[in-house]
């Protein structure tokens, strides 16, 4: 059965191509005057190729130069880590109080689960900051 479907699809492909060409000829006339899209970008240089390095009008596209000072970035990461560790400590203390207050074998505290998720996300964030 699969071979029959494959052969049917294989035989239908030339018909579909012929149908597409026929419809295009009917829409645009048999003369072949198919409208061309005008795209201003990228500009063309002699030979019909897009410009290479140094051939862009006006010395090429201008991108802002961004220089990263690694030392400043590491100091900022250290400040963020300290701030996030303080927040992590507060969340862990809050979770500890919630665990002490509720009996988790009988009651499932949604607030306790949310706090645990926040702790997990914050710990992953701190790990990524520490990695650099």
CA 119/CA 126 separation, integer angstroms: 10
Please give the model's pTM, rounded to 2 decimal places. 0.46
Query: Which DSSP string corresponds to 71-126?
Result: HHHHHHHHHHHHHHHHHHHHHHHHHHHHHHHS-TTT---HHHHHHHHHHHHHHHHH
* pLDDT tops 70 at residue 74: yes
What percentage of the chain exceeds 90 in pLDDT?
A: 26
pLDDT at 35 over 90: no
Q: Is residue 131 within 8 Å of residue 80, measured between CB atoms? A: no
pLDDT band at 105 (very low <50, low <70, confident <90, very high): confident
Rounded distance between C-alpha atoms, residue 49 and residue 98, angstroms: 68
| Higher-confidence position of 74 and 44 | 74
Examine the pLDDT at 9 and tell me if it is beyond 70.
Answer: no
């Amino acid at each position: 059965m699969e071979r029959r479907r494959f052969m049917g699809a294989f035989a239908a492909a030339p018909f579909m191509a012929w149908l597409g060409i026929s419809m295009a000829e009917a829409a645009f006339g048999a003369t072949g005057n198919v409208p061309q899209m005008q795209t201003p970008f990228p500009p063309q240089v002699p030979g019909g190729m897009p410009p290479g390095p140094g051939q862009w009008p006006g010395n090429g596209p201008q991108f802002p130069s961004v220089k990263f000072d690694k030392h400043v970035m590491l100091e900022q990461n250290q400040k963020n880590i300290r701030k996030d560790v303080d927040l992590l400590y507060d969340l862990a203390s809050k979770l500890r109080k919630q665990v002490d207050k509720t009996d988790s074998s009988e009651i499932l505290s949604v607030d306790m689960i949310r706090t645990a998720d926040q702790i997990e996300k914050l710990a992953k964030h701190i790990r990524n900051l520490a990695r650099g």
